[in-house]
Structure 1
Amino acid sequence: MLELTDAQIGGWVSAFLLPLFRIGALLMVMPVFGGNLVPVRVRLYLALAITLLLSPNLPPMPEVDALNLRMMLLIAEQILIGAVLGFLLQLFFQIFVVLGQFVSMQMGLGYASMMDPAMGVSVPLLGQFLLNMATLMFLAMNGHLVVFEVLAESFITLPVGSGFLVEHYREIAGKLTWVLGAAVLIALPAVTALLVINMAFGVMARAAPQLNIFAIGFPLTLVMGMIIFWLSQADILAHFQALTVEALQLLRDFAHAR
């Protein structure tokens, strides 16, 4: 009869369960896979498959009792690491939602919003368009494979039970302001052009008060805004590539990966 000790069972459980929590937390939070478009069952199966592939190549996990308090703390640590990795990637995609909000408000299209099926919240129409375009470009550039590579390297650079969290999160917190700054820099040309158009309408309203400037200015601003937005898409790929490199580098800095 095959007899297994508690230490052997605990070692097998920790070798598979602890990586599963980190991988599952990342898949539940990160964009593309973490939205409502992907069922929770599919994400769970994907997390199990990735864990089965990675577990033979991971460093040894700490052998602890499955019902011990230390095991619960290690599980919480893995969930926190995976969630932060996914949250950093989520911030990258929110750049394009903020960009769409800036342009929409300036061109008078801020009232046009739609329900984001992935997140379940209302977002501007242009923001949803840019978000879908960013998602397709991210997948086309194999950005999701780079994220999985960083996740695999994190088990070596951030081993389970390393106790790094407080100091490391403090270092990363100062780098999160680039989200709003990047959105402002990309939206600046379009917003500036629309601001000049609105100022021209303001001068016209002062020079000829008898004109119904709202009836003339709103549709013209909307049409000019769409034209300016269309012209600004010529450089969106270059901006996306630069932001993608910066976002993935932020993930590597957090995981201390190469």
Structure 2
Amino acid sequence: MTLKLLPVFLLVFVRVLGFFVTMPIFSYRTIPLPFKIGMSFYLAIAMTYAVNDAAISWNSTFPVLLVKELFVGILIGLIAYMVLAAVQIAGGFIDFQMGFAIANVIDPQTGAQSPLIGQYFYMIALLFLLSVNGHHLLIDGIYNSYQFIPIDRFIPFSRDGIIDFVIDVFTNMFLIAFQIAIPIVGCLFLVDIALGIIARTVPQLNVFVVGLPLKILVSFIALVLFFWIVYHIGQDSV
């Protein structure tokens, strides 16, 4: 690498490093920091020659471009994380209906609290992502981001720009979470209706004592059926 490509390399390195700070899998605490920096360094070297047609030099706008690249890398990593966050949100919806909303666990990967079923869904989603080489697609995403936001241009805040794209991703995250959770939440809603009818017809029965274990049992049965259906759909698609 020549000194002429050094400004381009620094901009690429900052974007890739910001991406590795927030993206799923590679941003976790279990991944050593030297590995993140070294992986970002070697990816930046490989990607520099793909974007070396940009006219970047040591001028007054270079520090601004450096901050922009860091912001873009962090933003792309957060967008990639939103896809997996939808699974955790779906688990939160299910936990709220099951009665597990008060019992959260600490995610050892991120250090944040997450719902029980949400963490279970999240680990399955991570294993599925690794099994289909989804981490390779994540790395391809940071490379293809230069087609959307070139290295020598600032973030397009116009209509149909980055702001509208982030809003659409954020909205679709909750939509996907609702679609994942609606089968189990729907079953629990029917259980609530049945318990309400029982409470009116048999006042001697304490539905608060019977309802919680019954909803947990129905939830686990629905989860088993849900994963069984998903497994067979995956087998048929293969």
Please tell me the TM-score bracket, short chain as reference: 0.7 to 0.9
Deviation of residue 236 (structure 1)? 4.2
Residues 150 and 121 from structure 1, CA distance in 2 versus in 1: closer, same or farther, beyond 3 angstroms? closer
Residue of structure 1 in register with 2:225 after alignment? 231
The correspondence for 2:56, drawn from 63, 74, 99, is 63
Contact 2:95 2:115 in 1 (8 A): yes
CA separation in 2, counterparts of 1:83 and 1:45? 18
AA at the equivalent of 2:18: A
What letter matches 1:29 in structure 2?
T
Aligned to 2:189: 195
| 1:244 match | none
8 Å CA contact 2:79, 2:166 repeated in 1: no
Mapped contact 2:20–2:27 kept (Cα < 8 A): yes
Tell me by how many angstroms 1:156 deviates.
4.8
Residues 1-258 of structure 1 mapped to structure 2, 5 A cutoff: 11-65=4-58, 68-156=59-147, 158-167=149-158, 168-176=161-169, 177-236=171-230
After TM superposition, give the deviation of residue 148 of structure 1 in Å: 1.6
> How far apart are the structure 2 equivalents of 1:188 and 1:107?
13
**Separation of aligned partners in 1, 2:155 and 2:109:** 32
Q: Percent identity?
A: 23
* Residue identity in the other structure for 1:116: D
C-alpha spacing 1:163/1:205, structure 2 compared with 1 (3 Å): same
Verify the 8 A CA contact 1:10 1:63 in the aligned structure 2: no
Q: Which moved more, 1:166-175 or 1:111-120?
A: 166-175
Aligned to 1:5: none
Q: Which runs of 5+ in 1 are unaligned?
A: 1-7, 241-258
Question: Structure 1 238/174 Cα, relative in aligned 2: closer, same or farther at 3 Å?
Answer: farther
Q: Residues 90-119 of structure 1, C-alpha deviation per residue, up to 9 Å, x if partnerless?
A: 110111101101111111222222101122
Instruction: Render the CA deviation track for 1:42-78: whole Å, top value 9, x for unaligned.
Output: 211110121122223333343322xx54111111111
**3-state SS of paired residue (2:28):** coil
Q: Please name the residue that 1:249 is paired with.
A: none
- 1:120 and 1:22, CA in 2 relative to 1: closer, same or farther beyond 3 A? same
TM-score, normalized by length of structure 2? 0.88
